[in-house]
Amino acid sequence: MKKIFVWVIGIIFLKLITLSFGIILIGKSKLHDSDIPMRNSLFLSAQPKKILAFFPHPDDEITVAGTLMNLLENGHQVYLVTLTKGEAGNSNGEYSKSELAQLRKIEMERSAELIGVTQLNLLTYPDSGLENLGLDSLKQIALEWIEKINPDVLVSYDSKVGLYGHSDHRLTGLALEHVFLENRGNKSFSPSKLFQITLSPKQIQVALQLSSGFQKNYPRDLKDGLPKPDFSVETQPYFKRVLEVMKSHQTQQEVLKDLMPYHDKVPSWIYSRVFDREYFHEVK
């Protein structure tokens, strides 16, 4: 009788494992394009490099948190510049702008600590008001921080969409792209590479079905959408820490549900093997 019981339990266990791996394979096939190569890191270098991650808001760093953790683990330095304190974020009327700015500053500091960034620079330009500063001013801000930090590599949003259509995202990516292309090759300009966050075509299709932000802001003509990725970076080993980074932004949890849909309903060992990479376009 005991042997039969053990045999039945073994069969059930094998079926559960088979079902779980089937879910992982289906999930990957829905989100990832097989023709986009996956790398172990953002770039290969035998020598430590400086990376400048340049974003408009607290919580934008979540989109590349796994990649930044990987770079730090490999001995590189990561400097994070956030242009605003995120005071225009959604708080359902619970906080004033000044209260929300202070809370998001604390959240950003916690996020930077969890990632392990070399240095966080949290600035006070107007959230959702970067357009009023103008592109030339944003370019000057970006250039000044590049000159302060002297990074080898730049990371930011794309210049076409800003991931899902937020104007601050797009303008930040556009300003950094202009600065990079206008100054690349100059002896006094240290960066040699610029990587922009993007999504796979399959991820975009899923996002347009599930994400209210994408549905509202993403270009109707997909030709005007995100740049196609050149590669992805494997981030599955950092999933639990990335989830902690996302949770550190407590005031924005409702908004961030779109970033990792259903992560609280699917076992993490399954979820982390489906959402196991971050996509990049290299500006050349």
The answer to whether residue 166 is domain-embedded is yes
The answer to whether residue 205 is domain-embedded is yes
The answer to whether residue 8 is domain-embedded is no
The answer to whether residue 210 is domain-embedded is yes
Distance CA 5, CA 24 (A): 29
Q: Which of 224, 226, 246, 227 is nearest to 235 (CA)?
A: 246
Residue 189 has pLDDT above 50, yes or no: yes
The answer to whether residue 1 is domain-embedded is no
* β-bridge mates for residue 82, sequence order: 55, 122
Q: Which of 190, 178, 185, 181 is nearest to 49 (CA)?
A: 190
Angle between helices 239-248 and 65-73 (to 10 degrees): 120
Amino acid at 154: L
pLDDT tens digits, 191-243: 999 999 999 999 999 889 988 888 989 998 888 999 999 999 999 999 999 99
| pLDDT in the model for residue 85 | 97
| pLDDT in the model for residue 178 | 98
Instruction: Name the DSSP letter for residue 227.
Output: P
The answer to whether residue 15 is domain-embedded is no
> Total structural domains in the chain?
1
Distance CA 245, CA 239 (A): 10
Residue 22 has pLDDT above 60, yes or no: yes
Domain extent at residue 150: 48-282
The answer to whether residue 54 is domain-embedded is yes
The answer to whether residue 10 is domain-embedded is no
Q: Is the dihedral of CA 263, 268, 269, 272 positive or negative?
A: positive
Distance CA 105, CA 79 (A): 16
Q: Which of 234, 235, 259 is nearest to 36 (CA)?
A: 234
Residue indicated by tokens 């172990």: 40
Residue 9: pLDDT band (50, 70, 90) is: low
Which CATH number is 104's domain given?
A: 3.40.50.10320
Residue 138 has pLDDT above 70, yes or no: yes
* β-bridge mates for residue 231, sequence order: 280
pLDDT tens digits, 36-67: 999 999 999 989 999 999 999 999 999 999 99
Amino acid at 155: V
**Residue 204: φ, ψ to 5°:** -60, -45
Q: How far is CA 31 from CA 8, 28, 137, 199, in A?
A: 35, 5, 37, 9
Residue 21 has pLDDT above 70, yes or no: no
Distance CA 232, CA 37 (A): 6
Average confidence (pLDDT) over 265-280: 88
Distance CA 79, CA 120 (A): 6
Q: Burial, 94: exposed, middle or buried (Cβ in 10 Å; 0-12, 13-18, 19+)?
A: exposed
